[in-house]
Structure 1
Amino acid sequence: MRIGELVRRTGATHRALRYYEEQGLLRPSRRPSGYREYVEEDVATVGRIHVLLAAGLGTAAIAEVLPCMAEERAEHASACAELQSALQDERKRIRSAIDDLTSALAMLDTVIASPHHLRRPQLRIMARPVAGNLAARRGPTPVSPAGTDRSATRGSGGRTNGGPAVTGPSLT
């Protein structure tokens, strides 16, 4: 089958299938025209790849595990035996992730079943002073020193009325 048929049957994208081939996860043959030719077993292989990717395995780990899952397991038995320890560790990691997700799911179920948890907390609104009262509490507005107009420098990066930037003493 050609790549379009494998895309249709597996839900993978063309790009993903080409990437799996680059990573050594799929090994399609080539037609004389250069088109990739996939076999029926590749449908199952792509399904396994998707499951392992969803479980958090990287493509390098998947490349080591796939031969242990294939129909021709007998010829890869020694390599699969060497992977046992790593596979047990990966299984523990996945089990832990499942347990964490199960706990999170239970919490969400509790919140959903008890809609009173979804109410927003009541905010205490404190009386705010009106603008006139606020100004009266602050006292008089400070006066700029020596008659300088500080309003001209606000937001101008230290320049006054479009002139050059005003800088302090040099630190060098």
Structure 2
Amino acid sequence: MRIGELAERAGTTTRTLRYYEDRGLLPARRTGNGYRSYDEDDLRLLREIRVLQDFGFELEETRPFVDCLRAGHPAGDACPASLAVYRRKLAELDGLIGKLADVRDQVARQLGAAEEAAGEAATPRCETTAPATTTD
């Protein structure tokens, strides 16, 4: 299949496919007249890349999965290098979750303090909560 058909079937653009080709993730096979030529295995590679990127993997992090598929394995995560990328990504995500939990705790403390202060203070009204005045 040609590049336009592959792009359509993969749900991407020809520009993206050329970029993947430049990065060595997609093979650069050419027909006799110079057109790029792809097959179902290339579509499978692209789907693997897309799923991983949807999970938050950087493009370069998809390389071991692509290499694993190219080596003839039934799945891109059947190789030790792919498993290592999964482990690194999980560690990264765990770190981000920890940071988000810390931020959430800080925001909750600030909210609690603000609500307590608002309950103790005389009840001045904020501009956004003051009743609208009408003019006759």
Q: Normalising by structure 2, what TM-score?
A: 0.59
Identify the residue that residue 63 of structure 1 maps to in structure 2. 63
Identify the residue that residue 35 of structure 1 maps to in structure 2. 35
Q: Flag structure 2 segments of 5+ consecutive residues without an equivalent.
A: 101-127
> Number of paired residues?
104
Q: 1:44 to 1:34 in 2, by over 3 A?
A: same
Does residue 122 of structure 1 match 2:134? Answer: no
AA paired with 1:10?
A
Identify the residue that residue 93 of structure 1 maps to in structure 2. 92
**CA offsets, 1:35-89, max 9 Å, x none?**
1000111112111111112222222221122223457129x99xx3255344212
Identify the residue that residue 13 of structure 1 maps to in structure 2. 13
Rg bigger for which structure?
1
AA paired with 2:129?
Q
* Alpha carbons 1:29, 1:37 under 8 Å: kept: yes
CA distance in 2, matches of 1:124, 1:69: 65
Q: Which runs of 4+ in 1 moved over 6 A?
A: 95-98
Q: 1:123 to 1:2 in 2, by over 3 A?
A: same
- Aligned CA-pair RMSD: 3.6
CA distance in 2, matches of 1:34, 1:97: 46
* Alpha carbons 1:3, 1:36 under 8 Å: kept: yes
Identify the residue that residue 46 of structure 2 maps to in structure 1. 46
- Structure with more contact order per residue of length (Cα contacts < 8 Å, sep ≥ 6): 2
Q: Flag structure 1 segments of 5+ consecutive residues without an equivalent.
A: 101-120, 126-172
Q: 1:73 to 1:92 in 2, by over 3 A?
A: same
State the 1:24 CA deviation.
Answer: 1.1
Q: Normalising by structure 1, what TM-score?
A: 0.48
Does residue 23 of structure 1 match 2:23? Answer: yes
CA distance in 1, matches of 2:87, 2:7: 32
AA paired with 1:88?
R
* Alpha carbons 2:61, 2:85 under 8 Å: kept: no
State the 1:30 CA deviation.
Answer: 0.4
State the 1:94 CA deviation.
Answer: 4.5
